[in-house]
Amino acid sequence: MQSDKQIEQWNAVHGADIELVRASMGVCGLDGHFHDRWSIGLIVRGVCRFNSGERQYRVTPADIFIIPPYEVHRCGAASDDVMYQVMYVADAALAALAPHLKCCVEGSHLRTKSLPEPVIALLRAVTAADGDVSAVRASLHRLDAFFRGAETAGQARSAHPLQEVLHRGWDLAIDLGAAECATVYSRWHGIRTFQRQIGLSPRLYLRQLRALKARYLLQQGKSLAEVAHALHFADQAHFSRVFKSVFGVSPGKLQRVMRR
């Protein structure tokens, strides 16, 4: 299924530790994907559902959704017209600005939470503030206060051995077959356990990981050809196809949105 998404706003704030995105999603939804940062978002209009692991969640405009980095999830529109906004927050930034929220979600199945309207309104105002650092910090501090005292005990999910290999070498010309053999598992058992534990095949995971890293190069003004070559895609067209499957828009269009 092709991703169905339209990005309307993309701002980087607090250095580059936090990105603010406002987008719409059609009825086709979004295939299995992940982000390299915490996803903390609201449904501005409509109702959304998403799957993470074997659990399904439903999000309304009265809820917040929180998805940890590298957690594969699939999204669908539960209504005809869905608009949402997300703060993509680096792990270190979330630990500094909202430590109670981070502790509460890690090691638990908590992914959605109903919030009082004043907190929702404060979070919604962040994108209208056009990346104002103080507004972002205030919204995260207020959200963290809501989760204070509600930490959930548990252990964070351990990484798959092959996942660690891919994270160490995503920018290298990895021989994926060799990487799949370089774990405690046999190659095929490693692939099967990776698919079951992570939610994507190792090949798809590596492609998405590189596409996520590509946006940082695009933000630096690198050309599409330069990025495709640096991240070992077959060519620019291949890079563009993979990038669009992850973000729902072409890399050139996202680069233009980020420059606004």
Asked whether the whole model's pTM tops 0.85, one would answer: yes
Q: CATH: 3.40.50.150, 3.40.50.880, 1.10.10.60, 1.20.272.10. Which one for 161-258?
A: 1.10.10.60
pLDDT digits over 168-187, tens only?
989 988 888 888 887 777 88
Please state, in angstroms and rounded to a whole number, the distance separating the CA atoms of residues 238 and 207. Answer: 10
> Residue 159 gets which letter from DSSP?
P
Class of domain 5-147: mainly beta
Q: What is the pLDDT of residue 127?
A: 75
Question: Is 5-147's fold the same as 161-258's?
Answer: no
Q: Read off φ and ψ for residue 132, nearest 5 degrees.
A: -65, 125
- What is the C-alpha R_g of the chain? 18
Q: What is the pLDDT of residue 96?
A: 94
Q: Read off φ and ψ for residue 50, nearest 5 degrees.
A: -150, 155
pLDDT digits over 124-175, tens only?
888 776 668 888 889 999 999 999 876 554 555 667 888 988 999 899 888 8
Please state, in angstroms and rounded to a whole number, the distance separating the CA atoms of residues 258 and 176. Answer: 32
User: Is 211 a residue whose pLDDT tops 70?
Assistant: yes
Over residues 103-126, mean pLDDT = 90
**What number of helices (H) and strands (E) belong to the chain?**
11, 10
pLDDT digits over 2-23, tens only?
456 777 778 877 667 998 888 8
Dihedral in degrees, nearest 10, Cα atoms 97, 105, 198, 167: 20
Domain ranges of the chain: 5-147, 161-258
Burial annotation 20-52 (CB, 10 A radius, 16+ → b, else e): bbbbbbbeebbbbbbbbbbbbbbbeebbbbbeb
